[in-house]
Amino acid sequence: MHRTRARLSDGRELVYYDETPGRVPVPDPRGLPPVEPVCEVRRDPLTGDHVTVTAHRNTRTFLPPPDQCPLCPGGPASEIPDDSYDVAVFENRFPSFDARTPAVPPTVDGAEVFERFPGAGRCEVVCFTDDHDAAMADLPVSRVRTVIDAWADRTAELSRLPAVRQVFVFENRGVEIGVTLHHPHGQIYAYPFITPRTERMLAMASLSPGLFDDVLKAEREGTRVVLSGEHWTAYVPAAARWPVEVHLMPHRHVPDFAALDGAERDELAVLYRDLLRRCDALYDTPLPYVAGWHQAPTGEGRDLVRLHLELFSVRRAPGKIKYLAGSESGMAAWINDVPPEAAAARLREVAAG
């Protein structure tokens, strides 16, 4: 993997990850004005959750026609000026978190119970390929490996930023999920706080040393394993929330992508692509999903959380979507219509392609 840094015309960083050396970046001809993000974080006093407010994101690009795709190389609206690339990563033009956001008062309405602070951090877009009509599952294993190396490199770099507490790598796929660009891509959020789900994991892991080892051992001995290798196991969790939900966990306790060795990355490229192909084969149509890579915080608690994938889909049957209604949205009390054992059996049975 060969990394080449460049700058877009508004000052945002663009990084190419190529499989062969020799790239000389093309200048961005658009003459964009500097990005002026306004990102603030407010804390809910009743739950402790952080809520980010970013009014500028309401004007972000929404499902443009293919000839105006900002992720295709070299086009008039492209964020990537070169005429081709393997993997490209750039700072989001409409970030949820940005170190350049201005200072805000420490409270809302002057009330100490309503805490707030600037949404410093960083948001990046990761383009998996320059082929607009491809998907992660379509890529050769070598390209998936390059994406993994890019994830690891970005995780290491973003984790060093002073304001960043946690780095989250994810892909949203499908209009049912809310995707606003069809080009195959993912995102990276470098949060200035620890997310609620990770806080819950930290709390449980602190009460039960070796929790991730215990869970993985139990799942590997159970009936819900989908794929397994020397370094990784994919399984439907015993308490799956979603009709399609698969976790992919390394056998070694590592905090993040940057800590994976070469053999672990090689096997991950094979198993992850296989898993995505199986998901697409479930209903004979591309599966809408969120693939979220959970990584340990950058500071306290880093030794407690293990890197792992949580992939889930809102599709519960052909032509049917699981909507998060009263119980899930209102109370975060999940009800799953599909038994996890049945979901795992189907994922084992379908051909990966």
- Counted domains in the chain: 2
Do both 19 and 97 map to the same domain?
A: yes
Residue where a domain stops, chosen among 164, 192, 220 = 192
What does the pLDDT read at residue 282? Answer: 95
183 labeled part of a ligand binding site: yes
Do both 126 and 7 map to the same domain?
A: yes
Do both 226 and 99 map to the same domain?
A: no
What does the pLDDT read at residue 64? Answer: 86
Do both 263 and 170 map to the same domain?
A: no
Evaluate if residue 352 carries a pLDDT over 60. Answer: no
Tell me: the pLDDT tens digits for 302-350? 999 999 999 999 999 898 999 888 999 999 999 999 999 999 999 999 9
Using 50, 70 and 90 to split pLDDT, how confident is the model at 104?
A: very high
What does the pLDDT read at residue 84? Answer: 96
Evaluate if residue 249 carries a pLDDT over 70. Answer: yes
Packing angle of the helix pair 340-349, 262-281 (nearest 10 deg): 100
Residue where a domain stops, chosen among 152, 169, 192 = 192
Query: What are the angstrom distances between the C-alpha of 189 and each of 58, 154, 169, 193, 287?
Result: 18, 10, 7, 11, 23
Do both 171 and 210 map to the same domain?
A: no
Do both 205 and 84 map to the same domain?
A: no
What does the pLDDT read at residue 138? Answer: 95
Tell me: the pLDDT tens digits for 128-141? 999 999 999 999 99
CATH number at residue 316: 3.30.428.10
Out of 185, 247, 294, 308, the active site residue is 185
39 labeled part of a ligand binding site: no
Do both 230 and 340 map to the same domain?
A: yes
What does the pLDDT read at residue 76? Answer: 81
Evaluate if residue 244 carries a pLDDT over 80. Answer: yes
What does the pLDDT read at residue 353? Answer: 57
* Residue 327: φ, ψ to 5°: -65, -45
247 labeled part of a ligand binding site: no
What does the pLDDT read at residue 211? Answer: 98
Domain that holds residue 229: 197-349
Tell me: the pLDDT tens digits for 41-71? 999 999 999 999 998 787 777 778 888 999 9
Beta bridge partners of 168: 189
Examine the residue annotation and report whether 294 is marked as an active-site residue of this protein.
Answer: no
Do both 257 and 285 map to the same domain?
A: yes
Residue where a domain stops, chosen among 126, 159, 192 = 192
